[in-house]
């Protein structure tokens, strides 16, 4: 029903504008999506876009040129076939683009820009959850995969086959499509594990305190997964720039031995005086990064909770967890709170989210992405990635030269996915919107992209096997 009503709302809005008028967010730049001066991978799907000019289609054209290749498109709706697009991007590292309009039978340049083509490869697939942007109620949802070389999207799992089931927190082991987990909420709660071709369901009711596992991070060996254990509450603001608050009344971190289905715990990761959450293993598996805040009275002091970024040495083969917590980034001098740490495959850079308070930043409009160089112990300016709306979930490609992140910058309500290049020094290129076959796709979007993650290949698990595991 929610899906139907949202679709009808978009149709009415679009038709009431005569079919030609586009949403205000699509009219801010000369072209939508804004692909001006972005850096793209050579194996990305063709970039389709719309030209925001008042002239008739016959009086507008786009010229793309390299030293050896040229493409011309007439009209304001710009599309390319896979073959001609690949020929274009393979021909040079810079695409020169001219936007032209016809005046007195002559073509005149309105604007020009460049699109940079990087030789750094991007992983072939993305996974993400698609969910209606509600606060409490969810209906149809699923975990999907998208081929980045074209526009093909298909479901890894949809809850249409298993009624009253919410799924979340999916993640692969270092992008391996044959090794992944996701949580099942509501009825028969548990964690679905796919490993070595076997689909199993973990009973996560380990103790009175540990009923469900939440935010995960795979150890590179694939033998262990770190999880946060959160008691979460949600409130809705009546007057606040942020729509909702999600906060933890308590939270700890545990490490699951996948083969034995037992938990490794430590007082360093489960202090009664602190909230520990968002675990993230280093690329070599020798450190566990996480966020931690001093425990205070909640919910009345929700806007005073601020999370530091910390680390703990681990040797999981010996079952040893360190005895000393190191604070990597202290927030007392920043007057901010930090969440979602993700370490680059090289182990050098840490991408995270910064916001004023709390830990669940996806509805915090001030939430921005930040980068920390663990080698030089300094911040790197990646402000080019950010907007006036929330930037939140993010992940690294397997080679470490691309990131994907979710942002509400278009509408303030729906999250969309953006890709950006990261060079060897940690500098970020201008982000670009995930290409779609038609740029109109975003005008009729009624679901949010949630928890994007790169994958090295396509998930081929039989959906019936997943449904059977969920019903157990």
pLDDT tens, residue by residue, 274-311:
999 999 999 999 999 999 999 988 877 778 899 999 99
The per-residue pLDDT for 13 is 42
What's the rounded mean pLDDT across residues 437-455?
A: 88
Burial class of residue 405 (count of CB atoms within 10 Å of its CB; 0-12, 13-18, 19+): buried
The CATH code for residues 22-118 is: 2.60.40
What's the rounded mean pLDDT across residues 383-387?
A: 98
Percentage of the chain beyond pLDDT 70 is: 90
Answering whether pTM is above 0.85, one says: yes
The per-residue pLDDT for 11 is 47
The per-residue pLDDT for 471 is 83
Percentage of the chain beyond pLDDT 90 is: 70
Q: Is the pLDDT of residue 226 over 80?
A: yes
The length of the chain is: 472
What's the rounded mean pLDDT across residues 335-364?
A: 95
The per-residue pLDDT for 240 is 61
Averaged pLDDT of the chain: 89
What's the rounded mean pLDDT across residues 459-470?
A: 92
The per-residue pLDDT for 10 is 46
Tokens of 160: 């249409």
The per-residue pLDDT for 250 is 85
The secondary structure of 201-231 as a DSSP string is EE----SSS-----SEEE-TTSSEEEEEEEE
Q: Is the pLDDT of residue 244 over 80?
A: no
Distance CA 55, CA 228 (A): 55
What's the rounded mean pLDDT across residues 118-130?
A: 96
pLDDT digits (tens, 9 = 90+) for 42-84: 999 999 999 999 999 999 999 999 999 999 999 999 999 999 9
Boundaries of every domain in the chain = 22-118, 125-471
Name the DSSP letter for residue 120.
Answer: S
The per-residue pLDDT for 239 is 55
Question: Which of 320-329, 334-343, 436-445 bottoms out in mean pLDDT, i.e. has the lowest?
Answer: 436-445
The per-residue pLDDT for 14 is 44
CATH 2.120.10.30 fits 125-471, yes or no: yes
pLDDT digits (tens, 9 = 90+) for 3-37: 444 444 444 444 444 445 667 777 778 999 999 99
The secondary structure of 329-368 as a DSSP string is E-STTTT-EEEEEEE-TTSSEEEEEEESS-S-GGG-TT-E
């Amino acid at each position: 029903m929610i899906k139907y009503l949202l679709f009808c709302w978009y149709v009415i809005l679009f038709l009431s504008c005569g079919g030609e008028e586009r949403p205000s967010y699509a009219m801010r730049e000369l072209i939508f999506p804004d692909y001006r001066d972005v850096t793209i991978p050579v194996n990305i799907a063709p970039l389709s876009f719309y030209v925001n000019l008042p002239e008739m289609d016959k009086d507008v054209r786009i010229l793309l040129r390299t030293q050896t290749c040229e493409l011309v498109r007439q009209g304001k709706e710009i599309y390319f076939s896979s073959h001609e697009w690949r020929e274009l991007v393979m021909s040079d590292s810079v695409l020169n683009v001219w936007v032209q309009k016809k005046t007195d039978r002559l073509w005149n340049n309105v604007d020009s820009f460049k699109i940079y083509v990087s030789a750094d490869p991007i992983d072939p697939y993305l996974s993400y959850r698609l969910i209606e942007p509600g606060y409490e109620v969810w209906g149809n949802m699923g975990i999907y995969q998208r081929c980045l070389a074209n526009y093909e999207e298909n479901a890894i799992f949809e809850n249409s086959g298993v009624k009253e089931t919410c799924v979340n927190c999916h993640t692969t082991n270092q992008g391996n499509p044959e090794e992944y987990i996701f949580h099942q909420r509501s009825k028969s709660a548990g964690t679905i594990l796919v490993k070595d071709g076997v689909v199993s369901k973990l009973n996560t009711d380990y103790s009175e305190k540990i009923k469900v596992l939440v935010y995960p991070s795979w150890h590179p060996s694939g033998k262990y997964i770190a999880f946060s254990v959160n008691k979460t509450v949600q409130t809705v603001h009546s007057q606040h720039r942020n729509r909702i608050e999600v906060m933890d009344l308590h939270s700890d971190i545990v490490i699951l031995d996948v083969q034995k289905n037992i938990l490794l715990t430590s007082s360093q990761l489960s202090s009664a005086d602190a909230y520990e959450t968002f675990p993230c293993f280093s690329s070599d598996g020798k450190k566990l990064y996480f966020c931690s805040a001093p425990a205070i009275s909640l919910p009345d002091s929700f806007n005073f909770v601020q999370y530091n970024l910390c680390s703990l040495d681990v040797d999981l083969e010996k079952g040893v967890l360190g005895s000393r917590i190191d604070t990597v980034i202290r927030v007392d001098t920043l007057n901010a709170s930090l969440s979602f740490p993700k370490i680059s495959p090289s182990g050098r850079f840490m991408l995270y989210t910064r916001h004023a308070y709390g830990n669940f930043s996806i509805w915090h409009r001030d939430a921005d992405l930040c980068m920390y160089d663990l080698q030089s112990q300094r911040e790197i300016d990646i402000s080019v990635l950010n907007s006036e709306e929330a930037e939140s979930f993010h992940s690294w490609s397997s080679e470490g030269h691309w990131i994907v992140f979710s942002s509400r910058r278009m509408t303030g309500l729906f999250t969309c996915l953006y890709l950006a290049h990261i060079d060897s020094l940690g500098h970020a290129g201008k982000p670009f919107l995930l290409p779609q076959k038609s740029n109109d796709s975003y005008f009729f979007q009624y679901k949010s992209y949630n928890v994007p993650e790169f994958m090295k290949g396509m998930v081929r698990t039989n959906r019936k096997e997943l449904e059977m595991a969920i019903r157990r």
